[in-house]
Structure formats: C-alpha cells, structure tokens
Amino acid sequence: MKSELLLRIREAETAATQRVETAQEEAKKIVSDARRKADEVLARGREAADEAYQQALATARAEAEEEAKKALAAGKRKATNLRKSFEDKCEGATERVLQLFEERFV
C-alpha cells in the first residue's frame, strides 16, 4: 500500500512535470509567434510610413515646380513689360538729350 501510494505520487509528479514542460513549450511558441507578428506589423508600418513619405515628397516637389513655373512666368512678364517701357522711353531719349545739351551749352 505504501509502495502503491509512492508510485502514484511519482506518476503524478511525472505527469505534472510533463504538463509544466508542455506549458513552457507552448508559452515559448506563443511568445515566438507574438514576436513574429509584431515584426510583421512593424514592417508593414514602416512600409506605410515610407509610402506616405514618398507621396508627401512627390506632392511637395510638384507644388514647388508649379510655384517655380508661376514665379518664372511672372518674372518673364515683368521683364517683358520693363523692356517695352524702356524701349518706348528710349525712342525719344536721344533727341531729348541732344535738345537739353543744345539748350545748356549753345
């Protein structure tokens, strides 16, 4: 009877040890799966952030190019207007300078 009781205790201890080992293995597997999933989520997040960055950069470049085109066009218009104004004023300038010169020195 005593030996039977000790045998049952030994069997219970062995079963408990096996359960603990199984639980530890399962826990390791759960942690490993969680880490893998976390890495996947992190990778997807990085990809999404990179895509958003590239898109924002492309949008900013397009806007900057558009602003540059507008500024260039405005500058060209202003330069054309200034040239025209200068040419209009230069047509009679020679005659006017000669007239003033003659009035002062003649």
Please choose, from the candidates 67, 48, 45, 44, the residue with its C-alpha nearest in 3D space to the C-alpha of residue 56.
Answer: 48
Domain boundaries, the chain: 2-105
pLDDT of residue 104: 81
pLDDT tens digits along 43-87: 999 999 999 999 999 999 999 999 999 999 999 999 999 888 887
pTM above 0.75, yes or no: no
CA–CA gap between residue 30 and residue 37 (Å, rounded): 10
Compute the Cα dihedral for 75, 78, 84, 90 and give only its sign.
Answer: negative
The alpha carbon of residue 67 and the mean position of all alpha carbons in its chain are separated, in whole angstroms, by 21
- Angle subtended at Cα 42 by Cα 38 and Cα 47, rounded to the nearest 5 degrees: 150
